[in-house]
Structure 1
Amino acid sequence: MTDSLNRRGTLLAGCALAASLACGAAQAQQDFPNRNVTLMVGYAAGGAIDQSARLVGQALAAKWGQSVVIENRAGANGTIAAAAVAAAKPDGYTLLVTATSHTLNKFVVKGLRYDVEKAFVPIALTVDVPNVLVVNANSPYKNVNELVTALRAKKKEFTYASQGVGGIPHLAGEMFKLRTGTEMVHVPYKGAAQGMTDLVGGVVDMSFPSPGSITAFVSGGKLRPLAVSSNQRFPYLKDVPTFAEAGISDFVIGTWHGVLAPAGTPPAIVAKINADINAIIQTREFQEALVAQGNVAAKPVTPAQFATKMSSELKAFEAVAAKIDLSAN
């Protein structure tokens, strides 16, 4: 009888604990956020990732009725910010805004202080765009063929800028060299904005940034886009051919922006942030603001779908990194 009562008591206690945890999770989701949230950006202010992060932050602040602080911790291809978020309390109040290079860092940054996959929980995608080959508007090269011809002539040393070693623009530059059988010197910067400034100033010859980094320079007549790295032409650069149209096959690479949380963040909070961001990226106001930056909103995905996308990229980047030295400057 006593054993039966003890078992019953244990069962009731277990049920009570489960109910308490469920209520606690629901309450956490309902109450979140009740104070400021920090979106940590691993790139310099003014670049495409920073710009889209600020749009997301503004929209979330309006939706949540809480301040959303953008904190830029540029450097080391976004790994400084990523390491800080990986070590942050997993409560949803410190989030990482990053890009495709986050997964690529596994293969190009030695001694990473975190596991690219295990240290984070993917939450939502915000931007998904191709990369663009651009040159200075005063450059003599009007199309990809003229540029490749000059590169092969080797009458001078050509350079290309990127936002950092191991980033997608760096990967794109090295892929371009492989596809065209040409040579260029990689010039890495701490952010996209500085690289674009030097490209406009004639310090470097070309770059492979995302559209958001070049919009103002293209419309201002400072930069000339030559090709986009997608299967179809980019809607907001309709006159710019794809690499395939320009004569370079098998050159498709893009950049996404997304939000990650530290591993261990409660699923209820992850689900709430995902739902709120997905609602934001589907609004006309947000999409038009992104277009003004030269970006395109991503299609809404679940955290699981985002995780699958990152896992697929890791496999693809591992294969490419085996052929290309992405750590070389």
Structure 2
Amino acid sequence: MKKNIAVMMSLLLTASLLGGCGNSGSGTTAAPTEAGTKAAVESTAAEVKTEPAGNGGANSYPERDLKAMIGYGAGGATDMAVRPLFTAAEKLLGSSIVVENTAGASGSTSWLAACEAAPDGYTLCIGAETPALYDAYDLIQYTYDDVIPIMVVSEAVQTITVAADSPYQTVKDLFQADIDNPGSVLKVASGKVGINGTLSAIWKTAAGFDPGTYTSDGASSSIVTVLGGFADFCVSSTAAVQSYKDSGDVRVLCTNSVERYWDDVPAIVEDYPEMEKYLPLGAFYTICVPADTDPEVVAYLTDVFTQAYNSDEFQQSLKDQGLSGLGLTGEEAKKFLDEWRHKALLALTESGVVEKTMKDLGYDE
């Protein structure tokens, strides 16, 4: 809907006059009641309020396509998680969402550009867990504190997965092998910043497990690397390993979680209860806008993406991808991001993976 207040009010007044002229009882125009006029004005204001102000205070939005900046490659986990939501949202926006994938530097190159874009409602900052940690790794100083979250869309539980013919039957077997012979176990995962680096920090702090690491291009290539015998295990989401698990090509030793995701796969806290203080901690996917974006634009986008999230087509997409839907907005989204960051930073600082302290990163502890 792209409406103009003046036009709407004019139409309302015209309708009132026409209604009066149609009254043949006394031949006089009946004046609209105060209550009726007030109700009409409030109804019009409420309708227009859903059409937020864009650049220059215009009361029509959006007037052009939106750009979604994703700091990870096309076809990757983040890309796949949000594109179906964009498809559903475009039907409500009446405009397209053009995706710009710029992989590299753990997504920080794209995040920096998105954060510094004009706060006009036409740039969406698409993130995962890495922006919560950029300052800890001294990549850039922009984090989730420097944007406005529209929605935390979904999350994915991470697994420790080996090939079906691996000698490691349990996560304890795997961990102990490297503890007994340091450097003998090789992990493959995508990216060093974010969930994979954070899980490694948890393992190191809570269990003394610090394997060698090979970095892959994505979750799928990590699994292929393990199947090819080039690494002992991979960190991949439940969504990524589901089909390989079903076919019997891999063995999932555990999920990095407090509760079981599959009935036949233990959660890591069953063997290492000391890890519970850092968990649950999985990958997640967000839609944000630059700081200082008009609050009405934020409210409008929140409404659009909430409707898109609740659509049957997007809910089916979550099921198809094996993702856990969240759909968090407003204060709930901020709380989720704050709690995730706090748990991750505890692991990273306590393990020495990052040199900064919690106090350096804004915490009193």
Aligned length, in residue pairs: 303
Aligned to 1:303: 330
Establish whether residue 187 from structure 1 lines up as the match of residue 187 from structure 2.
no
Cα separation, 2, equivalents of 1:46 and 1:312? 28
C-alpha distance after superposition, 1:261-293 (max 9, x if no partner): 111111111112222222232334322211221
Q: Which amino acid counterpart does residue 243 of structure 1 have in structure 2? A: I
Q: Which amino acid counterpart does residue 264 of structure 2 have in structure 1? A: D
Any unmatched runs of 5+ in structure 1?
Answer: 1-18
Contact 2:156 2:283 in 1 (8 A): yes
Specify whether residues 200 and 32 from structure 1 end up closer, same or farther in structure 2 by C-alpha distance, changes over 3 A only. Answer: farther
Q: Choose 57-66 or 186-195, whichever is displaced more.
A: 186-195
Q: Which has the higher contact order (CA 8 A, sep 6+)?
A: 1
Q: Which amino acid counterpart does residue 67 of structure 1 have in structure 2? A: S
- Alignment identity in percent? 25
Aligned to 1:238: 263
Establish whether residue 175 from structure 1 lines up as the match of residue 205 from structure 2.
no
Establish whether residue 205 from structure 1 lines up as the match of residue 228 from structure 2.
no
Aligned to 2:125: 96
Any unmatched runs of 5+ in structure 2?
Answer: 1-44, 356-365
User: CA RMSD, aligned part only?
Assistant: 2.7
Cα distance, 1:107 vs structure 2: 0.7
Cα separation, 2, equivalents of 1:24 and 1:255? 32
What SS is found at the alignment partner of 1:244? helix
Cα separation, 1, equivalents of 2:247 and 2:109? 33
Contact 2:187 2:233 in 1 (8 A): yes
Aligned counterpart in structure 2 of residue 135 of structure 1, from 152, 157, 162 = 162
Aligned to 2:62: 33
Q: Which amino acid counterpart does residue 205 of structure 1 have in structure 2? A: D
Larger Rg: 2
Cα separation, 2, equivalents of 1:30 and 1:125? 27
Cα distance, 1:297 vs structure 2: 0.8
Cα distance, 1:202 vs structure 2: 2.3
Q: Which amino acid counterpart does residue 78 of structure 1 have in structure 2? A: G
Q: TM-score, normalised by structure 2?
A: 0.74
C-alpha distance after superposition, 1:97-124 (max 9, x if no partner): 211222022212x251x42144311111
Q: Which amino acid counterpart does residue 97 of structure 2 have in structure 1? A: V
Specify whether residues 326 and 60 from structure 1 end up closer, same or farther in structure 2 by C-alpha distance, changes over 3 A only. Answer: farther
Specify whether residues 183 and 270 from structure 1 end up closer, same or farther in structure 2 by C-alpha distance, changes over 3 A only. Answer: same
Aligned to 2:150: 123
Contact 1:41 1:98 in 2 (8 A): yes
Contact 1:142 1:226 in 2 (8 A): yes
Cα separation, 2, equivalents of 1:37 and 1:220? 40
Aligned counterpart in structure 2 of residue 266 of structure 1, from 274, 287, 294 = 294
Contact 1:47 1:213 in 2 (8 A): no
Aligned to 2:275: 250
Aligned counterpart in structure 2 of residue 61 of structure 1, from 75, 79, 90 = 90
Aligned to 1:3: none
Cα distance, 1:241 vs structure 2: 1.3
Q: Which amino acid counterpart does residue 294 of structure 1 have in structure 2? A: G
